[in-house]
């Protein structure tokens, strides 16, 4: 299963770098809709993505219309603080798209109105404006992966100097 993460006009290179690293770690594809608030060769973008950026499956688009043209029939969930439905209330299909808006303004309301049936939100308390973009991507992405049993992902880890044993740790 490969989830597609879409960033609509991202502004902060460190967020996009972190999201790129998350995409590599999960086998997800990253789609960037221009204009971007940075250049893709910026040092801070690469620093946040660390040495994983070279392994990232990333595509850029001139605008939202080009994105739609090149991904016809895509099931796109719109992550927004304005949605009436929670991100846990939908069933994510394999190869679905989860779109996030720019840090300063989110997804434009004219796009949201046309996609209200797939608009989702992450709950928060009070009048907090939003979570950090890279955190929001991780929350929604891992819910989609969980719903699809983390298909193709490594589900167990191991210690390097010790071994797990009935809940206890012992020397290897």
**pLDDT the model gives residue 59:** 96
**pLDDT the model gives residue 51:** 72
Residue 38 has pLDDT above 60, yes or no: yes
Are 12 and 38 in contact by the 8 Å Cβ rule? The answer is: yes
Tens of pLDDT, residues 88-124 = 999 999 899 999 999 999 999 999 999 999 999 999 9
Are 77 and 92 in contact by the 8 Å Cβ rule? The answer is: yes
**pLDDT the model gives residue 135:** 97
**pLDDT the model gives residue 129:** 86
- Quick one: how far is CA 125 from the chain centroid? 22
Residue 60 has pLDDT above 80, yes or no: yes
pTM over 0.85: yes
84 — pLDDT class (breaks 50, 70, 90):
very high
Query: What's the rounded mean pLDDT across residues 116-133?
Result: 93
164 — pLDDT class (breaks 50, 70, 90):
confident
**pLDDT the model gives residue 39:** 82
Token pair 């029939």: residue? 73
Can you list the domains of the chain with their CATH numbers?
Answer: 4-171 (3.40.1280.10)
Are 34 and 126 in contact by the 8 Å Cβ rule? The answer is: no
With CA atoms as reference, report the closest residue to 83 among 62, 61, 68, 99: 99
């Amino acid at each position: 299963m490969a989830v597609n993460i879409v960033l609509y006009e991202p502004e902060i290179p460190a967020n996009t770098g972190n999201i790129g690293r998350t995409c590599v770690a999960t086998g997800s594809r990253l789609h960037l809709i221009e204009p971007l608030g940075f250049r893709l060769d910026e040092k801070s973008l690469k620093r946040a993505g660390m040495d994983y950026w070279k392994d990232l499956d990333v595509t850029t688009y001139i605008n939202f219309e080009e994105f739609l043209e090149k991904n016809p029939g895509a099931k796109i969930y719109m992550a927004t603080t304005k949605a009436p439905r929670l991100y846990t209330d939908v069933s994510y299909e394999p190869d679905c798209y989860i779109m996030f808006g720019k840090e300063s303004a989110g997804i434009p309301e004219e796009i949201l109105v046309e996609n209200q049936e797939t608009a989702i939100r992450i709950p928060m308390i009070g009048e907090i404006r939003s979570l950090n973009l890279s955190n929001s991507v991780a929350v929604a992405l891992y819910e989609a992966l969980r719903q699809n049993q983390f298909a193709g992902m490594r589900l167990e880890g191991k210690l390097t100097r010790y071994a797990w044993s009935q809940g206890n740790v012992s020397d290897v």
